[in-house]
Amino acid sequence: MNDYYAELGVSRDASAEEIKRAYRKAARKLHPDVNPGPEAEEQFKKVSQAYDVLSDVDKRRQYDMGADPYADAAAGFGPGFSFSASDLFDAFFGGAGAARGTRGPRPRMMRGQDALVPLDIDLSQAVFGGNADLVIDTAVGCPTCHGDGCAPGTTPRTCDVCKGAGEIQQVQRSFLGQVMTTRPCLTCQGFGTVIPDPCRECSGDGRIRHRRTLTIKVPAGVDTGTRIQLTGEGEVGHGNGPAGDLYVEIAVRSHPMFQRRGDDLHATLEVPMTAAALGAAIPLETLDGAREVDVRVGAQSGDTVTLRGLGVTHLRQNTRGDLTVHLLVQTPTRLTPEQEALLRQLAELRGEEKPNGKVASPAEAGLFGKLRDAFKVR
């Protein structure tokens, strides 16, 4: 009588998992593709036969009672020997066949897919956050059949081909003996049941398309490209399965005055020539309301003034960036005779007027001497 426990190297009280684990180990070592040669092939047949007996509850019980199903096979494959190709696949890939869901009927109810939708917001919403309405078109559970896909008053019927198993098996002969292959049933697509009278509203899918409006909270500090995850707001799965997640991708609209650089804002402020020369406090309408920009005496175009804490909120923090104001000194292009006379007088007082009454050259003149050329009436 063959000692199948010894062939696999397990004890007589070994569990089904221990037997499968021992077979995997031996098969990886002895398979002809890995270890060619007649001796290894013969040993591989022995451990495969041992696994065929010990992995089957009825055969193992008969063997433990003293009846060897293959006593006449002389340690070869007996006439009734067969094993599933998925068991051999498991031996090399650690149970990947089972992980693929190839055994047993698969459920009609499955998790839905995640969805990605864009959302355009204003810069002020990105700075301060707030609520936004979002119109989305996703799959929801069918209200008529409640997800089972059947017309009202009907139920799914067990598949006549696979008898509810969701898969069919075929036996083929090979050098290993009889190899059993398993594939999903084509009649029921692996579900084990068929729907004889599908729901007319969802055509048996268990879900329909529906447009709805969501009000979402936009965190302060988001920027273009930021994604907000809404758990369970995505597509409902087949058979009214759990919904996936909804990802909202933010796009911040451009602002006519402010430009964002990181968490700082930048703006350009036009300053009159006299204010730049004498200094002034010029009002500026910011996202936080009106603020005064202190222009120093003798300010030049390109100078900057920083207003602390008036920038963008740092994402997930309570602090904010700054607002940088870039000054642009305005130069008048036309002057009245009175304005020109006053500027000439100022230039003379500053020593920027030549004895012949002409304004000094740029190399000779100071600030107001240079401005005189620009202010000349055309």
In this structure, is residue 195 part of a structural domain? no
Segment 97-108 shows an average pLDDT of: 61
Structure tokens at 201: 């509203």
Range with lowest mean pLDDT among 125-129, 236-240, 254-258, 277-281: 236-240
pLDDT at 101 over 80: no
CATH code, 47: 1.10.287.110
Residue 44 domain boundaries = 4-99
pLDDT at 242 over 50: yes
Which of residues 145 and 177 earns the better pLDDT score? 145
In this structure, is residue 39 part of a structural domain? yes
Do both 8 and 75 map to the same domain? yes
Supply the pLDDT for residue 250.
96
Segment 10-23 shows an average pLDDT of: 87
Q: Whose structure tokens read 């000054």?
A: 327
**What pLDDT, in 10s, does the model give residues 33-76?**
666 677 777 888 888 888 888 888 878 877 777 777 666 544 34
Does 199 show up as a binding residue in the annotation?
Answer: yes
CATH code, 268: 2.60.260.20
* Cα Rg of the chain (Å, integer): 42
Q: Where are the beta strands (DSSP E) in 191-245?
A: 193-194, 207-218, 227-230
**What pLDDT, in 10s, does the model give residues 263-304?**
999 999 999 998 999 999 999 999 999 999 999 999 999 999
Angle at 77 between CA 71 and CA 83, to 5 degrees: 115
In this structure, is residue 292 part of a structural domain? yes
Does 150 show up as a binding residue in the annotation?
Answer: no
Residue 353: pLDDT band (50, 70, 90) is low
CA separation (Å) from 190 to 83, 231, 242, 328? 21, 29, 20, 72
Dist CA 302 CA 266 (whole Å): 13
Dist CA 51 CA 31 (whole Å): 14
Does 188 show up as a binding residue in the annotation?
Answer: yes
Supply the pLDDT for residue 23.
86
pLDDT at 362 over 90: no
Domain boundary among 46, 68, 99: 99
pLDDT at 167 over 60: yes
b/e per residue 190-224 (b: at least 16 CB within 10 A): bbbbbbeebbeebebbbbbeeeeeeeeebebbbee
